[in-house]
Structures are given as C-alpha cells and as structure tokens.
Amino acid sequence: MTRSRSNLAWAACGITLVLAPASVRSQSPEVQQRVVALKQTVARDQQSIRQYEWIETTVISLKGEEKSRQQKQCYYGAEGSLQKVPVSASPPPEKKRGLRGRIIENKKEELTDYMKQAVALVKVYVPPDPARIQAVKDAGKISLDLPGAGRGARLNLSGYDKPGDLLSVEVDPASNRLVGLTVATYLNDAKDAVSLNVRFSSLQDGTGYPATEVLIAKAKNLSVNVTNSGYRKSTQ
C-alpha cells in the first residue's frame, strides 16, 4: 500500500512538471531573440498605424455606474504626432448649490484628476515602448514563459515604468505578433494598485492595434474602458 502511494506521488509530481509553464531567464538566447522580435513588431505596427484614422471610445465607471463617455477621432498629423479630436462626450452633470454643493464639487474635481491620471497611465504601457523594453532587458529584469498547448509566449518585464510594476506581453509564438498584455502597477503609491488588461487585433494588412484596454483601480472602485474601432485609411 505504501509503495502504491509512493508511485502515485511520483506520478503526480511528473504531471505537475509537465503542466507547469517553462520559464526562461533574461540572459538566454531565446529571450534575446524574443525581445528583438517584440521590438520589431511594435515598431512596425506603430509605423503602419500612421496610415489610419480611427475612433477611440473611453468609458469611465465608478462603482459600476458609468460616469463619463467620450469619443475621439484619432489620426497622425503631417508632423507625425497623434491627434485626437473630440467627436462626442456625455454632458456634465448639473451643479448643486450651497455648501453641500461645493463639497460635492470638490470631491468631483479630486475624482476627475484621478480619472485623468488613470487614463494617462494606460498610455504609458500601450503600446509598449521599444526603448523601455530594451532598458528592462539590459537591467536583467525580463523573463520568458512558454505555457505551451497552443498558448502564446509571454515576456514579463519588471520595473518597466515604476519600481515594482510588472508588464507581461503575450505574443503569438509563430508570428511574434502581440496578442495581449497585462499590467500590475499603481498610480501615486504602491497602496493605490491598478491593473490593466489589453487585447490586440489585426487589420487586413496585418497591422496590430489595441482593440480593448481595461484599467481597474480597486482603491477607488474605478474602471476605465478604452475601445479602438472603425479603422480606415486616413484622409488627413
């Protein structure tokens, strides 16, 4: 009986080892190859997307209730900078009068500033910056996970923007195209934790773009949902 249990234990260990994703350290040739491929993919997509214009829809919700919705037409100007022209936005709520009204307005202003910081934080990580990717790699703070079973390879970058943050980029193992990315970070301090989940899609010519971006700030019960859609060749 004891021997049988021992055999089962070894078998269970074997199964665990088979199912566990392989992790490759930052200085390995495979990690270096993946980093080079990722940088090339991001740079190529960023160059190709300049031909297009699209609609960016940003929805901000507090405690599950939608507080703001804004749409912007996005395109690259002749000088090469990204332009965003408001298309529509939810009307501002009617202001209340008196002392209570001023208190409410002050809280709204504080929350609005927080919302702006949250939206700006999304842009820090999307799309990933090739120069920052290289800096993390040079610092030895990058690893590669190979889950297998048809799942994408995942590059994990620690300290991408702030000490203690973690950017994980999932790529198609064959084409090296971006599939998605997740971020564990914070706004003002580590207690103000924020998570970001992004899924990528491709246009007909193969250009990759962030289709959906969802940021969750648990401390404030705040969520920011960004959707990019309606891509077409730019007329600007």
Q: What is the pLDDT of residues 195-223, one digit of tens each?
A: 999 999 999 999 999 999 999 998 888 99
Instruction: Note whether residue 14 is domain-resident.
Output: no
Instruction: Note whether residue 12 is domain-resident.
Output: no
pLDDT (mean) for 179-194 = 91
Q: What is the pLDDT of residue 114?
A: 82
Counting residues of the chain whose pLDDT is more than 90, the rounded percentage is 53
Asked if residue 136 lies in contact with residue 159, where contact means CB atoms within 8 angstroms, the answer is: yes
CATH of the domain at 49: 2.50.20
Order of all β-strands in the sheet with 65-76: 22-24, 142-146, 153-158, 166-171, 178-186, 193-202, 208-217, 222-233, 52-62, 65-76, 82-89
Q: What is the pLDDT of residue 103?
A: 46
Instruction: Note whether residue 11 is domain-resident.
Output: no
Q: What is the pLDDT of residue 23?
A: 55
Write down the mean pLDDT value for the chain.
Answer: 82
Instruction: Note whether residue 69 is domain-resident.
Output: yes
For residue 6, pLDDT beyond 50: no
Instruction: Note whether residue 173 is domain-resident.
Output: yes
Instruction: Note whether residue 141 is domain-resident.
Output: yes
* Structural domain count of the chain: 1
Q: What is the pLDDT of residue 188?
A: 82
What is the C-alpha separation between 166 and 190, in angstroms, rounded?
12
Higher pLDDT pick, 59 / 4: 59
Asked if residue 165 lies in contact with residue 185, where contact means CB atoms within 8 angstroms, the answer is: yes
Instruction: Note whether residue 9 is domain-resident.
Output: no
For residue 16, pLDDT beyond 50: no
Instruction: Note whether residue 215 is domain-resident.
Output: yes
Asked if residue 222 lies in contact with residue 114, where contact means CB atoms within 8 angstroms, the answer is: yes
Q: What is the pLDDT of residue 148?
A: 61
pTM, rounded to two decimals:
0.79
How far separated are the first and last CA of the chain, in Å rounded? 77
Domain hosting residue 170, numbered range: 22-233
What is the C-alpha separation between 101 and 114, in angstroms, rounded?
20
Q: What is the pLDDT of residue 27?
A: 63
pLDDT one-digit tens code per residue, 91-136: 655 555 555 544 444 445 556 788 888 888 888 999 999 999 999 9
